[in-house]
Structure 1
Amino acid sequence: MQAVVDFILELDRLKQVTRKIRVRGTERYENPAEHSWQIAMLALSLAPCAAEPVDADRVVRMLLVHDVGEIDAGDAFFFAEGDAQARTAAERAAAARIFGLLPAPQAASLLALWDEFETGASAEARFAHAADRAMPVLLNLANAGQSWRDNGVSHAQVVGRLAGPIRAGCPALWDYLEGRLDEARRNGWFGA
């Protein structure tokens, strides 16, 4: 029991990590714990629209663990330049440490879910990626492009980085977002 309690209390630290996007209608930036909950709900809601049949419960489990490594590694802005491989290695090491607080079978199971998400090796992982990539877009659209404007992100950058993963996991979601992104560009909601 103590191992589970220690693990859950360690996860509380995820609430202290700050992301680059504000909670809708506020000046407060969200944290990865909020983000993980919201994309899990997005995925449950969109599961019938997935590109391939998915096990929605597995997708939700994946989304609940995918940002755990940010407890140690922090959150990196999606459009920032940098060594993506080093970043992923740091997050994986952190995830292994944190999941390692649990008994070995549970730790291995959660780390395997984390790895599956990172590699995009299944229909569930591709759909989870689509939800993960789409949620910041939805928040930016609800906040008049706040994060894009604050960080100098262009329409071309958003489309270039997000169209592929979202379309691969949930084509209907990309079809929806594409029109909204064009409208956001006309409204001047991009930073570059």
Structure 2
Amino acid sequence: MKQAELAGILAFLNGAEQLKQTLRSAHTSNGRQESTAEHTWRLCLMVMLFEKQFSDIDMLKLLKMCIIHDLGEAISGDIAAVDQIEGHDKGAQERTDLLQLMAPLPQDLQDEILLLWDEYEHASSPEAMMQKPLISWKPCYSTRKA
């Protein structure tokens, strides 16, 4: 790996780290607002735990989609469904933000992430169609205490 590629990856990771402070409209079981990083971690954990139930799904691809689906929130934050403005294309904004965040990455990584994100956004693969309901289920589940 060339030094410039490594520097680009590190710059991307530094930008993506903002997801630890990016708060979402969903709350944790103790009532505090959840960060995008926490949301992503829990979604990935759910996928791992249900792996045996979905043997026809490419789990690595699904996990990658889970990891990257909200990366754009590092730039503009989370827009809750109730706060979305009619006529404003949330997906287009998230894609623009993702492109900005990925700019330092080597082109092959940008291409891979964007392809996965587009599949997720358009639910154009079995993995993307599996991820969408898990995302919807997770906020409902996380608000319930054991």
TM-score (norm 2): 0.88
The structure that has the greater radius of gyration is: 1
Equivalence for 1:32:
36
| Letter of the 2:110 counterpart | A
Instruction: Looking at secondary structure, tell me which structure has more strand per residue.
Output: 2
Shift of 1:140: 2.3
Equivalence for 1:175:
none
Q: Which has the higher contact order (CA 8 A, sep 6+)?
A: 2
Query: Measured at CA, do residues 84 and 58 of structure 1 come closer, stay the same or move farther in structure 2, by a change above 3 Å?
Result: farther
Equivalent residue for 2:135, pick from 132, 135, 140 = 132
TM-score (norm 1): 0.68
Query: Measured at CA, do residues 94 and 118 of structure 1 come closer, stay the same or move farther in structure 2, by a change above 3 Å?
Result: same
Query: Measured at CA, do residues 78 and 127 of structure 1 come closer, stay the same or move farther in structure 2, by a change above 3 Å?
Result: same
Identity %: 24
Equivalent residue for 1:41, pick from 34, 42, 45 = 45
Return 5+ residue gaps in structure 1 as ranges.
144-192
Contact 2:75 / 2:101 at 8 angstroms: preserved in 1?
Answer: no
1:22-171 equivalences under 5 Å are: 22-25=27-30, 27-50=31-54, 53-83=56-86, 86-142=89-145
Return 5+ residue gaps in structure 2 as ranges.
1-5
Contact 2:84 / 2:90 at 8 angstroms: preserved in 1?
Answer: no
Separation (CA, whole Å) in 2 of partners of 1:79 and 1:93: 21
| Letter of the 1:128 counterpart | Q
